[in-house]
Structure 1
Amino acid sequence: MSHFKQRIGKKRGVVGVIFRDEKLLIIRRSLTVTAPGKLCLPGGTIEKGETEEFALVREMQEELTIDVSPVRLVWRSVTPWGTTLAWWLAHLDADVTPVPNPDEVSEYRWMNSDDICAAREMLPSLPEFIQAVRAREVELDFAF
């Protein structure tokens, strides 16, 4: 019984994988949230009753005031603290400019894989994702 409760109680999150000109949308977390000041991809907790796709759309709207269209699931991972993450490729119209919600995001950047690998202060899932892309564990429609 306790094993079942533990499995059900694990948190689930969704991550937005959003490209523009073969650069990835990266955020810096605000200083008032968990892991303050860290670089990561935008995303958040999947609430009870939400699909991954719905949570993706909601989180992008909450964090960056952008409307995205989920394309497909590209990867799954588990954080060191036990949260299962669903990494979703999402489409953002080319003329849309993200507007960070200062309660959650201090800034955003468009970064290529070399920029990301050279950056400091990032959540551990970000370099793991880049490694998975480079190892072709993540299928994208272009080289990144």
Structure 2
Amino acid sequence: MRELDRPEAIIAILRRDDRILVIRRGPQTRRCGYWAPLSGTIEPGESQEMTLVREVREEVGLLARPVAKVWECDTDDGLYLLHWWLADVEPGEMTLEPREVSEARWIRPEDFLQLEPTFEKDREFFERVLPGL
């Protein structure tokens, strides 16, 4: 598959104070049950920032403000190109989309490494990339 044919997705690193939002992927997602930051596929005509705002609103009902793209990598199966974005969120209660999100937690970044199961690239981000930001 050519690089340009591969689907792309965003990973939203949502910050609130010293916490990061992570979710347990819901029953209608690939790899249901995995802990991960919010993510979503970029739709035709959308920018990465637009995708981030839409996915956060759809999956947890919060208003996000993209701050900066901080990393890029492939998924562990090589099917998607991932664009990692830091984002701030407005105060408010979460409303989870139950097909896509089974559970959501605001955690300290170092606590992510205690969650199981997680994706290899997510662990790499929390271990190697996030501490340098």
TM over 0.5: yes
The answer (yes or no) to whether the contact 2:76–2:119 under 8 Å persists in 1 is: no
How many pairs are equivalent? 132
2-structure distance, mates of 1:59, 1:134: 21
Q: How far has the Cα of 1:109 moved from its partner?
A: 0.3
- TM-score with structure 2 setting the length: 0.91
Q: How far has the Cα of 1:123 moved from its partner?
A: 2.0
Aligned pair 1:11/2:13, yes or no?
no
Gaps of 5+ in 1: 140-144
For the structure 1 residues 135 and 90, does the alpha-carbon distance in structure 2 shift closer, same or farther, using more than 3 Å as the test? closer
Aligned pair 1:98/2:90, yes or no?
no
Question: Which of residues 46, 52, 57 in structure 2 aligns to 1:50?
Answer: 46
The answer for the alignment partner of 2:57 in structure 1 is 61
Q: How far has the Cα of 1:43 moved from its partner?
A: 1.3
Instruction: Give 4+ residue runs of structure 1 displaced > 4 Å after superposition.
Output: none
Identity %: 32
Gaps of 5+ in 2: none
Task: For 1:108, give the aligned amino acid.
Answer: A
1-structure distance, mates of 2:89, 2:22: 14
Q: How far has the Cα of 1:117 moved from its partner?
A: 0.9
2-structure distance, mates of 1:44, 1:134: 20
2-structure distance, mates of 1:68, 1:79: 23
The answer for the alignment partner of 2:105 in structure 1 is 109
**RMSD across aligned positions (CA):** 1.5
